[in-house]
Amino acid sequence: MARIVGGIGTSHVPTIGLAYDKGRQNDPAWAPLFKGYEPVAQWLREQAPDVLVMFYNDHANSFFFDCYPTFALGVSPSFEMADEGAGKRPLPDINGHPELAAHMAECLVNDEFDMTLFQDRALDHGCNSPLSLMWPHEPAWPGVIVPIEINVLQYPLPTAARCYKLGQAVRRAIESFPEDLKVAVVGTGGLSHQIHGERTGFNNPEWDDEFLRRIVDDPQSLTRLKHADFVRLGGAESVEVIMWLAMRGALDDKIKCIHQNVYLATTTAMAVAIYEQA
């Protein structure tokens, strides 16, 4: 049977991918960020998961505001990387796992999650920006992906509690899949940042630290927060951290953080963390 080996929380700032593609890993301004991802890449090499289940959001590249799903599950045999206006990143397509995805879809619907299913939709920086730092990809990726898109752009958004429950349902679905697979779950987005309006450039390092502590020790307290709470504490775009709660819901009640790196160099507090089952 399939099993979850651990979880990863990560920012998905588009400039991460741009800096990576330009070979700026050793630039003084970027080295602290890239160094923070090296233990993640090492952990993935050691764990060797067959599948990454990635909770991410699309930034109106493959889903648009005329029809933006709350939760969407990718069931394609492969996914390309989106052209977000400046050309596609130099990354190969990544394979999916249609059998696992179909099984998850049936389980999630039976668990009363009305999922949108998608094929042939490219993955934008919400997915590929951190993915390129964590997994080697030349000439091909070492495993496959099951992407789960979560709406954090167009209100009404799913609640933090609903995302946490989605993660719990995803775990039940994975663990009931009969094939022997190792799965890592990834939640993307955040941390504190706001990129529009009167509070453009807002950050809250104290809240970021508290969020990272509570997602390990007391995730239930985070599920009780409203969207307005996340916006007030971390900025308008920091509501993306509800995708971390989906990842957290797929893990044990008790977990341990074995690596964490936070770097605030631009408008976004860029973080990455590894969580193992306790």
User: pLDDT by residue (tens digit) across 53-110?
Assistant: 999 999 988 999 999 999 999 999 999 999 888 788 999 999 999 999 999 999 999 9
Residue 227 is a catalytic residue: no
**Annotated catalytic residue within 12, 97, 103, 193:** 193
Instruction: Say which range, 94-103, 124-133, 165-174, 242-251, has the weakest mean pLDDT.
Output: 124-133
**Annotated catalytic residue within 12, 97, 103, 125:** 125
Identify the residue with better confidence: 125 or 74: 74
pLDDT tens digit sequence for 195-225: 788 888 778 899 999 999 999 999 999 999 9
Q: Check which CATH number belongs to the domain holding 191 and give it.
A: 3.40.830.10
How far is Cα 162 from Cα 141, in angstroms, rounded to an integer?
Answer: 31
Please count the CA atoms within 13 angstroms of the CA of 203 that sit on its side-chain side.
15
| Distances 262 to 135, 191, 242 between C-alpha atoms, Å | 19, 9, 18
- The number of folded domains in the chain is 1
Q: Is the pLDDT of residue 31 over 90?
A: yes
Pick from 249, 240, 1: nearest CA to 129: 240
Question: What pTM did the predictor assign?
Answer: 0.96
State the residue range of the domain holding 148: 3-277
Residue 196 is a catalytic residue: no
How far is Cα 7 from Cα 186, in angstroms, rounded to an integer?
Answer: 6
Cβ atoms of 176 and 3 within 8 Å: the answer is no
pLDDT over 90 percentage in the chain: 79
